[in-house]
Structure 1
Amino acid sequence: MVSAGKTENRSVTEQRPTPVGRPSSRSRTPVADQTRKRRPRQQRRATIVDVARASGVSLSAASYALNGKPGVSEATRALVVRTAEQLGWVPSHTARALQGQRTRVVGLVFAVDGPAQRSLSDYMMRFVNGINTELAADDRAMLVTTVDSAESELEVYRSWASQRRVDGFVITNVRRDDARLDLVQKLEIPAVIAGDVRGHSPVPSVWTDDAAAMTMTLDHLLSKGHRRIVRFSDNPHYLHAEQRAAAFEDYLAEHGLRADGNLTAAPNRVETTAQLRVLLAEPDPPTALICDSADRACQTLLALKDLGRPVPEDLALVVWDDAPVCEITTPTLTAVARDAFDYGAAVARQLVAQLSGTAAGDCQGIVSELIVRESS
């Protein structure tokens, strides 16, 4: 039996005050336990060393078996492959790159002209989605970045090629005398151009017939009685913009009409309003306008509203490259439509063919159509 005195002393000891700022040693709890439960340790990813050890073979034998190389029997190869599947082993693309093998990654670099253009258009987003979907079907991925100049663009090409981060490139928005076309040849890295560079570069391309699309558009406008037509170009320094401008001028000249209507679009609503005010005040004002993008067409619609000039009564509008917004504007916008997703997929297929060792040349990717809506 424990005496009362000992019980009292023990009680005094247990109830001794705790110094301010220091928790009691009996009630002290680890900080981690107070704030969150301990997370379970993540399972380590299986390596080829694990596969070799579990299979009872050497590291080199496991490598030969998993990479489909000769040097091991079929029985050993089957054993190693089965063990790798059981362990959940997957090949490391980084390791393959270091060994001079393919990374199964394709590069795409966008050079933008300033903060206002740092978001990709709806058309370009669908184009990229088409590339990515086609690559994924072949167990490939895409590495995408944006830069603010042509010089920075070239640096990315050199960097990714030297680091073996990509197996090839998709090149978009080609400019005349574009240094990228020579660079990919010097780097000896596969590439495919989205655009018509036939006669300009030996780099394979997947192109659309912009001249045929321009003819289709102008045929429509002439059928509606328009004889004075102008065109707003967003990026006149791109090769495809030059080709559209040439097709525009050739068509109008062949039909005995004024062919001086290729204009660089103003950058904002206020300047577009001023530009249109001058054009519509001419003795022979335009009655139809072709815009190079849906964004530019929407800006033009707002400018015409500011001027009190209704569409299509005073000025008909046609957009180059259809977008969802074309169906919700007032009026809805007539547009040249190209399936951007299918175009991207065609570009990806052409590049995959190169990477698989198949000779690739120029080919037509998609055909354009004209969707006639209220604006014309």
Structure 2
Amino acid sequence: MKRPTITDIAREAGVSKGAVSYALNGRPGVSEATRRRITEIARDLGWAPSSTARALSGGRAGAIGLVLDRPPDVLGVEPFLTALLAGIGPASLLLQVVPDLDAELAAYRRWRGERKVDGVLLAGPGHAGDRIGELTRIGLPAVALGGPPGHPGVPAVWVDDAAAAGDVLGYLAALGHRRVVRIAGPAVFAHPRSRAEAFAVAADRLGLAVARTVHTGHSGEAGPGAIQRVLVQPRPPTALLCDTDVLAVAALVAAREAGLAVPGDLSVVSWDDSPLCRLVRPALSAVRRPLAELGGLAASVLAELLAGGQAGDVCASRPALVTRGSTGPARP
């Protein structure tokens, strides 16, 4: 079967090839609605993987790199990576798990020195300045997954967390919830400052009496411990918004151990949707972020950089709130 091209996307979308190039590479010149439509058509046609494979060929290493500073035990239960890899497609991916920032920077220097990869995808926006500064110094092209946008030379592919926060808190407020706590864990492909600001702004706009963030760490024990402490407070929240599906499952367990019914006493929402959210009982309401699209767009933008283009920041499709059995009206 013939691989789709920019011409195919332009014909399907009813726009020029230039408009397609602008949309897929984050350049100004097309409206946001047109950009989203072109991105969706490109994804449906399977264009991004083919484009990446072509751009990564021709005298280069033929591989891109991804370093994750996540504990192996946590990484093993997070389903995000499968969705991301599905979006990246057939491009060769060199994946390494490291314990900290120093090891991550060392991996980039080693890959660059040994010419193992042509460019990298940055996951986890912590210490963004240090990482981007080092990559710029050694001349290794990079695209930031999840942000932050606005760094010259290192375009970002990101998801609109402000829209997601507004949708979730608006939904909970309509159900009568006025005390909502966000459990902030090691979310991947999401910028923590942007997510925190989005949550605070949406809560203020809706006039929620209590809307605060509780931070937890990377370990498998940190999340459940933080959730248990939140639930035993004198005026506990009536709803939890958890940064990951693993934290949301931990919230279900903590609620059960505290004698709370979900959703009768406590509603739980995950800021990541995965098969795990549908397997537990009650099934978890969740924000479905377009992770496969994020991977495809990131690989496409990196391919544009490697081809000598001037790629810019790209916002993926709007997240969608999927309501299931873990959310219901707040108890009076």
Q: TM-score range by the shorter chain?
A: 0.7 to 0.9
1:130 is aligned to 2:108: no
Aligned partner of 1:105: which letter? Answer: A
Which has the larger Rg?
1
**Contact 2:160 2:316 (C-alpha < 8 Å) held by counterparts:** no
C-alpha separation in 2, matches of 1:158 and 1:367: 35
Q: Which moved more, 1:264-273 or 1:221-230?
A: 264-273
1:327 is aligned to 2:278: yes
1:163-312 equivalences under 5 Å are: 163-200=114-151, 202-235=153-186, 240-258=191-209, 260-265=211-216, 275-276=226-227, 278-312=229-263
1:66-145 equivalences under 5 Å are: 101-112=59-70, 114-119=71-76, 121-131=78-88, 133=89, 136=90, 140-145=91-96
Judged with a 3 Å threshold, the aligned counterparts in structure 2 of structure 1 residues 201 and 227 are, in CA distance, closer, same or farther, namely farther
Judged with a 3 Å threshold, the aligned counterparts in structure 2 of structure 1 residues 342 and 290 are, in CA distance, closer, same or farther, namely same
Q: 2:105 — aligned with what?
A: 154
Q: Give CA-to-partner distance per residue, 1:346-374, whole Å, 9 cap, x none.
A: 11111111112222011112320000101
Judged with a 3 Å threshold, the aligned counterparts in structure 2 of structure 1 residues 178 and 129 are, in CA distance, closer, same or farther, namely farther
Q: Secondary structure at the match of 1:144?
A: strand
1:101 CA drift (Å): 3.7
Aligned partner of 1:109: which letter? Answer: V
Q: Give CA-to-partner distance per residue, 1:69-105, whole Å, 9 cap, x none.
A: xxxxxxxxxxxxxxxxxxxxxxxxxxxx9xx941111
C-alpha separation in 2, matches of 1:295 and 1:127: 17
1:342 CA drift (Å): 1.7
C-alpha separation in 2, matches of 1:237 and 1:268: 14
Q: Secondary structure at the match of 1:245?
A: helix
Q: Secondary structure at the match of 2:192?
A: helix
User: How many positions carry a matched residue from both structures?
Assistant: 271
1:295 CA drift (Å): 1.0
Q: Secondary structure at the match of 1:261?
A: strand
**Contact 1:192 1:350 (C-alpha < 8 Å) held by counterparts:** yes
**Contact 1:249 1:259 (C-alpha < 8 Å) held by counterparts:** no
1:232 CA drift (Å): 0.5
Q: 2:13 — aligned with what?
A: none
Judged with a 3 Å threshold, the aligned counterparts in structure 2 of structure 1 residues 326 and 118 are, in CA distance, closer, same or farther, namely closer
C-alpha separation in 2, matches of 1:211 and 1:233: 15
C-alpha separation in 2, matches of 1:127 and 1:279: 32
1:129 CA drift (Å): 2.8
Aligned-CA RMSD value: 2.6
The runs of at least 4 consecutive aligned structure 1 residues that moved more than 4 Å come to: 236-239, 266-278
1:151 CA drift (Å): 0.3
1:375 CA drift (Å): 0.7
**Contact 2:179 2:211 (C-alpha < 8 Å) held by counterparts:** no
1:282 CA drift (Å): 3.8
Q: Secondary structure at the match of 2:105?
A: helix
Judged with a 3 Å threshold, the aligned counterparts in structure 2 of structure 1 residues 203 and 269 are, in CA distance, closer, same or farther, namely closer
**Contact 2:158 2:190 (C-alpha < 8 Å) held by counterparts:** no
1:21-36 equivalences under 5 Å are: none
C-alpha separation in 2, matches of 1:275 and 1:119: 21
Aligned partner of 2:113: which letter? Answer: S
**Contact 1:289 1:317 (C-alpha < 8 Å) held by counterparts:** yes
Structure 1: runs of 5 or more not aligned? 1-96
**Contact 2:167 2:321 (C-alpha < 8 Å) held by counterparts:** yes
Q: Which moved more, 1:215-224 or 1:244-253?
A: 244-253
C-alpha separation in 1, matches of 2:195 and 2:245: 16
Q: Give CA-to-partner distance per residue, 1:138-163, whole Å, 9 cap, x none.
A: xx411111111110110110011011
**Contact 2:183 2:227 (C-alpha < 8 Å) held by counterparts:** no
Aligned partner of 2:79: which letter? Answer: D
C-alpha separation in 2, matches of 1:334 and 1:296: 13
1:357 is aligned to 2:285: no
Judged with a 3 Å threshold, the aligned counterparts in structure 2 of structure 1 residues 118 and 368 are, in CA distance, closer, same or farther, namely closer
C-alpha separation in 1, matches of 2:315 and 2:187: 23
**Contact 2:74 2:219 (C-alpha < 8 Å) held by counterparts:** no
